Structure 1
């Protein structure tokens, strides 16, 4: 890092510049340009520095910042800029030797101190511009979360959504303007929330409670969790398929022939660092996949409508590929020719023709070939019997 970078990101608390350490205050006082949202700019005293309001949406401010290169610039952010803040966006946009960051006290730290919650045991989420459904995988009685929200109205929206999900008994600790003269704390339940004068900035401490359905952390969610037209990898097969896909942190999946999106969605639920692209040729199914992903809190699923292999060109390269639909010799030839060595491939087949194709490729490339036959108990006249499902042949290989 350069000794004196032109750009400094300073984390400002609700007590304004008075709460800054001497080094941060000195850099702020010597700045030629101070850039930040109006609320932050209003906290600092008048000076000779030019003031630039950061526009909305946030990305529109980056070109403005680019044009200030060469001047001594301070960007004001909230608390710790690298904890659901502006720091990571700025760091991606500029070279490491151009900037430095001086973080302040995070809202999460202040909230945990007020509530006496061990921060290492609490989920922390920034939902200023993200959907509330990102909370969905974590809704389970006893879970504690600290959530940053856009404004006071978003707290009521959160309470309404928790009620809708069956978690209306959850306790909400509404923490406003932490660390400043306007700080206020009030507690209620999602079902009983009645005050509507909540001021920005706001952090909500959640203690989840209620009779809503929690999402299991195991692979193989109930089929009923997914909206489907019947084209879905059924729960036991899905669990075995996720085991074969073997997701590891940071990996990217291609889910070819998405159907209801269940494989790609369950892949993403395994770890927040995982990414996935689902390829689905039918428009109505592609839209259904998006709805399922949003409802289950993994809106980061990338859905591509198109036919494989044509739709695969130009996509970010995967670590793992699952073929659940559209299996053909041409697709397997394309994958073999275009994917780098080390890519893991899992394909499921139900028809005799696709089973024969996998047997041929197993002979050609090796790997594991598994035949899965399942039966479920059901009524048989006045008694019960076994009802067999179609067998599934699964081929797993590392290219």
Structure 2
């Protein structure tokens, strides 16, 4: 029998298109939230079943139990926009989805905003802290709320991030006769709402009181709480450029420290994922706090010693080794764990670590470079250059066949970052 996912808005039955009405009229069972089921008229004779809580673990069993029924699954608004449609399709590829205007479409229509210029963040079943990574001067955001407290929590987050001047508009029951709008600023927000499902429109100020962090790698070192174990800004930018954050891909940040590499990997590509591996409990806790403060609360922290703790973890698309490169088995474990097309970037500041990288490069190829950075510092009444510890960096890419790509063992090294610009990826030797 068939499974049809039907999007339904706050306007209920009157807002449904003919294909959605036909599916509901034919249905033997309708699954949905109580508020969605209440929107259906009495003429719909199908058995109505409310979602269990938690929903996602129970969904496969529900679909199996109704495998012989004409089944309709109700979704709020557009089923494929932060909705249950994609989950149902993953479990039942033969399911049919009947769309409906999304809350994003309705909200931008009310606000007069161009939909393609708006950034959307969902706080429905997700941490609100993700909003921090999306903040930028003059940006327009839509935040999908899942509780009546979300607008007040969002206002407090904006104030804490230096965006107290942001303008807020809370839109509730979009599409219904009783839809409403409440406006104010984050710093002065004191409005209340009883509708748990709202869309909060945020207009960021042109000149926020922040450090203009953005998504580009190389955030200021002051953006992190750390105990000195931090990949510095300049090296972080070069390392992330070599790692190449890509949509949906997973990074292992081995030797997490303050978590900066994993955090900026996730900030650079919002759909990317990261796991930070850290031996010390205090640093592991600090990574979690830094990730939330910088808007990537989904970053996962694993506490333990590498390479032993790496066994059994999801295979990565990229690995950064920021410490312990000379530990026996470290580089081999990280390299062999990579998926096809994966990238490995390893940094060393000690002679022993540099020797380990040189040996790895000689055996497996890739590219190696030495990075030296100096920062201006006071010298009496003047400024002078203070050199940071030079860093040796090995970069390797695994080919589609699982064999390391790039240069072959024994090829000539190009190791000086001061060599001029090159079109060759850093894991390959020209």
TM-score range, shorter chain: over 0.9
**Which residue is equivalent to 1:318?**
316
Secondary structure of 2:199's partner?
strand
Moved more, 340-349 or 7-16: 340-349
**Structure 1 residue 362 corresponds to structure 2 residue 358:** no
Tell me if the contact between 1:176 and 1:198 (Cα under 8 Å) persists in the aligned partners: no
- The structure 2 residue matched to 1:211, chosen from 193, 209, 212, is 209
Matches within 5 A, 1:92-241: 92=90, 94-97=91-94, 99-209=95-205, 210-241=208-239
**Which residue is equivalent to 2:411?**
none
Q: 2 CA distance for matches of 1:383 and 1:106?
A: 60
Tell me if the contact between 2:13 and 2:39 (Cα under 8 Å) persists in the aligned partners: yes
**Which residue is equivalent to 2:419?**
none
- The structure 2 residue matched to 1:53, chosen from 50, 56, 66, is 50
1:199 deviates by: 2.2
Gap regions ≥5 residues in structure 2: 398-403, 405-430
Tell me if the contact between 1:177 and 1:200 (Cα under 8 Å) persists in the aligned partners: no
1:350/1:60 Cα in 2 relative to 1: closer, same or farther (>3 Å)?
A: closer
Q: 2 CA distance for matches of 1:217 and 1:393?
A: 26
1:102/1:341 Cα in 2 relative to 1: closer, same or farther (>3 Å)?
A: closer
**Which residue is equivalent to 2:70?**
72
Secondary structure of 1:217's partner?
coil
1:177 deviates by: 0.3
1:226-275 CA-partner distances (Å, limit 9, x unpaired): 11111010111111111221223332211111111101111111112222
Matches within 5 A, 1:364-383: 364-383=363-382
Q: 1 CA distance for matches of 2:203 and 2:322?
A: 39
Tell me if the contact between 1:345 and 1:397 (Cα under 8 Å) persists in the aligned partners: yes
Moved more, 311-320 or 52-61: 52-61
1:313/1:380 Cα in 2 relative to 1: closer, same or farther (>3 Å)?
A: same
1:39 deviates by: 0.6
1:382 deviates by: 3.8
Tell me if the contact between 1:137 and 1:214 (Cα under 8 Å) persists in the aligned partners: no
1:381 deviates by: 3.1
Secondary structure of 2:360's partner?
helix
**Which residue is equivalent to 1:350?**
349
1:188 deviates by: 1.3
1:384/1:292 Cα in 2 relative to 1: closer, same or farther (>3 Å)?
A: same
Moved more, 192-201 or 368-377: 192-201
Which is richer in helix?
A: 1
**Which residue is equivalent to 2:427?**
none
1:195-249 CA-partner distances (Å, limit 9, x unpaired): 2234233111110123234322321101111111110101111111112212233
Tell me if the contact between 1:268 and 1:276 (Cα under 8 Å) persists in the aligned partners: yes
Q: 2 CA distance for matches of 1:156 and 1:26?
A: 41
- The structure 2 residue matched to 1:248, chosen from 246, 257, 276, is 246
Matches within 5 A, 1:384-399: 384-398=383-397, 399=404
Secondary structure of 1:152's partner?
coil
Tell me if the contact between 2:25 and 2:45 (Cα under 8 Å) persists in the aligned partners: no
1:220/1:182 Cα in 2 relative to 1: closer, same or farther (>3 Å)?
A: same
1:322-368 CA-partner distances (Å, limit 9, x unpaired): 11112124212334455456432111000111112212222222322
**Which residue is equivalent to 2:408?**
none
Q: 1 CA distance for matches of 2:23 and 2:4?
A: 8
Secondary structure of 1:108's partner?
helix
1:334/1:188 Cα in 2 relative to 1: closer, same or farther (>3 Å)?
A: closer
